[in-house]
Structure 1
């Protein structure tokens, strides 16, 4: 497991390459939920999500030979966008492997940044192809099973701890667990009394299934939220979550989509379902603990108007 010194070193490494995103109190969300709400706006990060932090940190850590060989990554969308854009900025050749369910915009943005995009029928197939490309000489930039990446994602939590007022509970979305592992590492060091909650969607429950099973297990993916759809967490992210996270809450896709609409209406934030899922989870935390002050890591905003309208129509939003 990484430590706070790793997160602080990552913060120094990525400074100048990423945005120190705003931390804001949200009157709209506070009124909606009935408790004070502070949001960390990673949807305003370069490439539209927190993933730019881990991608650039890993790229900066590579040797000249590794950079010359080019990098390869598997992604449900945001990691691929981030790696493509940051690799393009550093003049490193990148190949991004995505499932066919990945947002069309993610594919277009990655290609526009100069990356080669390979599509597979599902996420399991995408991971398999990535392993093949790695064996052929590409340098893997894993979306979550990498201490360098996790430490860089932890800079989100470091900034949140430094810039926010008081909060009692922080909610963080979970895909493969890189973000919550880094954020929890930072918060346990800087805000040790805070409760930390992970949030997944039904059909993308890799961390909650792992915690129930006592270790990483493969999961069958069915959630619309491709950016949270890891086929399994890693041993590293599992160990970190088991040690540092209070609990993982699982919400239906329909509630995550409703959360997207609520973020737009009440917070004036254009978020994706991976962030929208935080609101139904927040209601559960409030119901359980009552007098709380919430911190929300709004992880990304890479959803198109067509995406949101289609989801709202499907789920009756």
Structure 2
């Protein structure tokens, strides 16, 4: 299990390399949801998402031999961007493997940062290629199956616990589970009475299916939300979530996109559907727990283009 001491050590390691992002009450979201809402604004992080934290923590932990070998990662978008940009900043050669479903902008940013980008047809093929490259000598920077990466992501929770007013329930998006595993560990240590809720999109339900099965299982992926589309969670993230998280909620892709529009209109935040899914899930939490709740939202990223949003709003009839 990742503990608070691991997360505190990660915070010391990455200080000066990443942004301590703002934590702020949102009058607009509070009015929309009918309960007080505080947002942790990780979309303002370097590279546009929380992923810079875990990638930086891992890169700074490498030996000279591992740095010389170069690093490799698989990504649906944000982890690849983060690794490419932060590896360039730390002068480490990086290779990023992405499925064709990854946003074109993510591929472009990773290449512009100097990473070698390999594109595969599916996410399963991406993971397989990364494993082959690892066997050839590259150092793997896994998006969620690595305690150093998870501890790095946990610094989000460390900051939230220090900066937020009183909250009763915190919602965190879930793909492979690295963010929620780290955030839950930090919050359980610093604010033990807070309930923690994971949020997935339908068709990217690796964690909820793992919880139902009693451990990680492969899942079929059909969500448009590539940044949450992990083919399975890891034993590490499953163990953390099963022990520390109240429940994992699922929302349709359409509602995740609608959540992005609501965040733009009511919170003045430009997000991606991996963050937009928090709003429909927040409504579920209010329905289940009552109107005395005080919500915290970890707004995980904002790497969506105006063209992406135009396509999604047209696809789901949200214009």
TM-score (norm 1): 1.00
User: How does 1:94-109 map onto structure 2 within 5 Å?
Assistant: 94-109=94-109
Task: Name the counterpart of 1:289.
Answer: 289
Note the alpha carbon deviations across 1:132-166, whole angstroms, 9 max, x for none: 11111100000000000000100000000000101
Alignment correspondent of 1:40 = 40
Secondary structure class of the residue paired with 1:221: coil
| Aligned-partner Cα distance in 1 for 2:161–2:317 | 37
1:206 aligns with 2:209: no
Q: Does residue 193 of structure 2 align to residue 193 of structure 1?
A: yes
Q: Secondary structure at the match of 2:193?
A: coil
CA offsets per residue over residues 204-229 of structure 1, 9 Å max, x none? 00000000000000000000000000
Matched, 1:52 2:58: no
How many residues are matched?
317
Name stretches of at least 5 consecutive residues in structure 2 with no aligned partner. none
SS in 2 for 1:39: strand
Cα distance in 2 for residues equivalent to 1:316 and 1:181: 34
The residue that corresponds to 1:163 in the other structure is 163
Q: Which residue of 1 aligns with 2:310?
A: 309
Task: Report the counterpart of residue 255 of structure 2 in structure 1.
Answer: 255
1:10 alignment partner in structure 2: 10
Q: 1:272 aligns to what?
A: 272
Write the distance in 2 (CA, Å) between the matches of 1:34 and 1:84.
40
| CA distance in 1 between partners of 2:219 and 2:120 (Å) | 18
- 1:308 is paired with a residue whose SS is helix
Match of 1:299 in 2: 300
1:9 partner SS: helix
Report deviation, 1:311: 0.3
SS in 1 for 2:192: coil
What is the correspondence of 1:55-70 to structure 2 with a 5 Å cutoff? 55-70=55-70
In 2, Cα distance between equivalents of 1:69 and 1:288: 50
Q: Distance in 1 between matches of 2:280 and 2:237?
A: 24
Cα distance in structure 2, aligned partners of 1:188 and 1:289: 19
Secondary structure at the counterpart of residue 184 of structure 1: helix
Asked if residue 146 in structure 1 is aligned to residue 146 in structure 2, the reply is yes
Q: Please give the secondary structure, in 1, of the residue aligned with 2:296.
A: strand
Scaled by the length of structure 2, the TM-score of the pair is 0.99
Which consecutive unaligned segments of at least 5 residues does structure 1 have? none
Residues in 1 aligned to 2:277 and 2:225: alpha-carbon distance in whole angstroms = 10
- Matched position secondary structure for 1:286: helix
Separation in structure 1 between the aligned mates of residue 90 and residue 236 of structure 2, nearest angstrom: 28
Describe the superposition over 1:40-86 as per-residue Cα deviations: whole angstroms up to 9, x where unpaired. Answer: 00000000000000001000000000000000000000000000000
Distance 1:225 1:79 in 2: 14
Query: Which residue pairs with 2:80 in the alignment?
Result: 80
Structure 1 CA distance for aligned equivalents of residues 254 and 171 of structure 2: 19
SS of residue paired to 1:160: helix
Instruction: Find the aligned partners of 1:34 and 1:74 in 2 and give their Cα distance.
Output: 39
Please state how far the C-alpha of 1:316 moved relative to its aligned partner: 1.2
